[in-house]
């Protein structure tokens, strides 16, 4: 997994990143539990895959995939922005645009 000292050293030295993961029982407290953050991240992925149908993007090249995904993300942002400006009760709800 991602808990080895060698793997963490590789990430830090070669990629210049800090690996943040839940603490294991056999190590001292470092970062704590990420239960709430994990739910938030999974919720974002679910929205991207479900509402925006990113699994069926239809792109045939990598550039085509990027363009189609970007277009859907911009459409999502535009819908949320519009909901804020019309003072909709649910700002992030896209049901009205989901046809």
Which of 86, 89, 82, 87 has its CA nearest to residue 97?
A: 82
Which of 34, 32, 2, 29 has its CA nearest to residue 18?
A: 2
Q: What is the pLDDT along the chain (99 residues), one digit of tens a residue?
A: 677 788 889 999 999 998 888 888 888 888 877 777 888 888 878 877 776 777 777 778 888 888 888 888 888 888 888 888 998 887 766 666 665
Q: How far apart are CA 33 and CA 35, in angstroms?
A: 6
Question: What does the pLDDT look like over 22-36, one tens digit per residue?
Answer: 888 888 888 877 777
> pTM, whole model, 2 decimals?
0.47
């Amino acid at each position: 997994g991602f808990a080895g000292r060698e793997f963490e050293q590789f990430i830090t030295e070669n990629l210049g990143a800090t690996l943040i993961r839940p603490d294991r029982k056999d190590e001292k407290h470092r970062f704590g539990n990420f239960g709430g953050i994990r739910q938030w991240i999974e919720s974002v992925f679910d929205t991207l895959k479900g509402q925006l149908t990113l699994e069926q993007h239809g792109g045939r090249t990598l550039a085509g995939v990027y363009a189609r995904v970007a277009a859907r993300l911009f459409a999502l942002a535009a819908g949320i922005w519009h909901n804020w400006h019309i003072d909709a009760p649910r700002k992030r709800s896209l049901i009205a645009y989901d046809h």
